[in-house]
């Protein structure tokens, strides 16, 4: 039975109204005494209200609602425990929160170009309230492990991104540490679900990236510097309270359920809708325990099985064109590779080019040539030239 039925249909001799409901009844009755709506203007009962009111006499629910004004009726329906619309800033088209059904975006596999166009089309809030500074309070070993985990996240997720993009990734990790929906340590956030080949939050922890690609020293130092600044109070204000992101060449089905903040580099950052994404929700204390978090991902066999069975969702090889004034005709075609674990696998040509760039960055700059000595002036002479 719904709230209205509970208020007015308790059986004789039974006290169905508890002390916690008393003030609510008084508020509703006080509001309901100010006016009424006629049966003709009253909205039709929802199926859920009808089901809950099945033990009322015929017309009882209608008579009760007819004696309440619109505000009181809206309040009672808002307190109804049934399924209702959730309009707390949710993206249009996703206003109903239904956790029992996987979202269906209405289309199948997307090419990289299609995903980028859709991602660019979705509106972003642009303005974001910055998160509070994070200061890591941990002992030497705990602190070292926390910075290692954060450095890995920055490196493997955004090694070739511009510095603001790396700072945004680090900020997202620290935002998760402070949100009650996530673990209470940096390593706990980074390695959440890492033991499962398809359940990790950061793909590098479960797709074998750490085994396939050893860190490049110069880029590792850069990522470490970003991590150090982040745990010493630096705030990447541009992403606000973001707790999720993805690359612009994929379009995950959870994207439209969150609030898009902005894109930085190749990554698009999101926050929770409504109060869950507001600054007031980021009050979870840091509890440490970094050394207790396992940094071991799934076995190589489990990763191979996941890829072979399609659990990771590999996409077919695609090609796309882009404008290149140096190419014949001004257009160049490129093979996009495949997307595995949400990450695009680069082609051989791209890997060779990236390695060449990294090698040039790791080489020390050639020494500058020695400066030529200034010309020596001729010795001074007090003899003047003989003229004609």
- Write out pLDDT tens, residues 306-346: 776 654 444 444 444 445 556 666 655 554 444 444 455 56
Query: Do residues 235 and 128 touch, judged by C-beta distance below 8 A?
Result: no
Q: 69: helix, coil or strand?
A: coil
Q: Which of 264, 265, 267, 262 is nearest to 252 (CA)?
A: 267
Lowest mean pLDDT among 169-173, 180-184, 274-278, 314-318: 314-318
Q: How many CA atoms lie within 13 A of 180 on its CB side?
A: 7
Two tokens, residue 16: 């169905």
Compare 53 and 141 and report the one with higher pLDDT: 141
Lowest mean pLDDT among 10-19, 57-66, 143-152: 10-19
Largest CA distance in the chain: 141
Residue 384 pLDDT > 70, yes or no? no
Confidence label for 104 from pLDDT (cuts 50, 70 and 90) = low
Give me the pLDDT at residue 345, please: 58
Give me the pLDDT at residue 377, please: 63
Compare 379 and 18 and report the one with higher pLDDT: 379
| Beta strand pairing call for 343-345 and 267-271 | unpaired
Residue 349 pLDDT > 80, yes or no? no
Two tokens, residue 239: 């992403």
Query: Do residues 175 and 150 touch, judged by C-beta distance below 8 A?
Result: no
CA distance 42 to 7: 19
Query: Do residues 363 and 355 touch, judged by C-beta distance below 8 A?
Result: no
Kindly report whether the global pTM for this prediction surpasses the value 0.85: no
- Write out pLDDT tens, residues 214-247: 889 999 999 999 999 999 999 999 999 999 999 9
- Residue 97 has a CB neighbour count (10 Å cut-off) of 15
- Residue 55 has a CB neighbour count (10 Å cut-off) of 9
Lowest mean pLDDT among 237-246, 259-268, 365-374: 365-374
Q: Which of 134, 151, 160, 140 is nearest to 230 (CA)?
A: 134
Task: For each of the domains in the chain, give its residue range(s) and CATH number, in order of start.
Answer: 3-78 (no CATH), 112-307 (1.10.10.2520), 312-361 (no CATH)
Give me the pLDDT at residue 17, please: 36
Query: Do residues 177 and 286 touch, judged by C-beta distance below 8 A?
Result: yes
Find the radius of gyration of the CA atoms of the chain: 31
Compare 58 and 296 and report the one with higher pLDDT: 296
What residue spans of the chain are helical by DSSP H? Answer: 3-8, 22-32, 47-52, 60-66, 70-78, 112-121, 140-158, 163-178, 186-190, 209-212, 217-231, 300-308, 348-362
Q: Let me know if 215 is exposed, middle or buried by CB neighbors in 10 A (0-12, 13-18, 19+).
A: middle
| Beta strand pairing call for 244-247 and 267-271 | antiparallel
Question: How many residues does the structure list for the chain?
Answer: 388
Give me the pLDDT at residue 300, please: 78
Handedness of CA 317, 318, 319, 321 (dihedral sign): negative
- Residue 125 has a CB neighbour count (10 Å cut-off) of 14
Two tokens, residue 254: 């959870």
- Write out pLDDT tens, residues 4-59: 444 333 333 333 333 444 444 444 444 444 444 344 444 555 555 556 555 666 56
């Amino acid at each position: 039975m719904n709230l209205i039925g509970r208020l007015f249909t308790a059986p004789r001799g039974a006290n169905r109204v508890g002390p916690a409901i008393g003030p609510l009844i008084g508020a509703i009755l006080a509001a309901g005494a100010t006016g009424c709506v006629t049966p003709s203007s009253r909205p039709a009962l929802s199926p859920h209200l009808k089901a809950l009111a099945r033990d009322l006499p015929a017309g009882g629910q209608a008579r009760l609602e007819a004696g309440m004004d619109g505000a009181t009726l809206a309040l009672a329906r808002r307190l109804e425990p049934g399924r209702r619309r959730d309009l707390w800033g949710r993206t249009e088209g996703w206003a109903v929160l239904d956790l029992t059904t996987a979202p269906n975006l209405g289309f199948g596999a997307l090419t990289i170009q299609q995903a980028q166009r859709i991602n660019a089309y979705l509106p972003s809030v642009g303005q974001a309230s910055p998160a509070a500074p994070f200061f890591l309070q941990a002992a030497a070993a705990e602190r070292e492990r926390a910075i290692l985990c954060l450095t890995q996240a920055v490196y493997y997720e955004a090694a070739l991104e511009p510095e603001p993009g790396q700072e945004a990734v680090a900020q997202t990790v620290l935002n998760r540490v402070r949100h009650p929906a996530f673990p209470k340590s940096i390593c706990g956030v980074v390695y959440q679900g890492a033991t499962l080949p398809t359940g990790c939050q950061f793909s590098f922890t479960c797709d074998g990236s750490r085994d396939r690609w050893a860190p490049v020293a110069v880029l590792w130092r850069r990522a470490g510097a970003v991590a150090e600044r982040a745990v010493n109070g630096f705030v990447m204000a541009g992403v606000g309270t973001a707790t999720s992101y993805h690359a612009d060449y994929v379009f995950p089905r959870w994207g439209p359920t969150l609030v898009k903040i902005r894109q930085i580099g190749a990554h698009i950052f999101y926050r929770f809708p409504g109060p869950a994404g507001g600054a007031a929700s980021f009050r979870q204390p840091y509890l440490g325990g970094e050394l207790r978090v396992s940094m071991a991902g799934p076995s190589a066999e489990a990763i191979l099985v996941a890829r072979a069975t399609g659990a990771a969702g590999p996409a077919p090889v695609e090609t796309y064109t882009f404008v290149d004034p140096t190419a014949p005709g001004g257009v160049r075609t490129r093979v996009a590779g495949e997307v595995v674990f949400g990450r695009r696998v680069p082609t051989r040509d791209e890997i060779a080019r990236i390695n060449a760039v990294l090698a040039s960055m790791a080489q020390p700059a050639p020494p500058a040539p020695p400066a030529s000595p200034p010309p020596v002036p001729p010795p001074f002479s007090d003899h003047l030239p003989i003229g004609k």
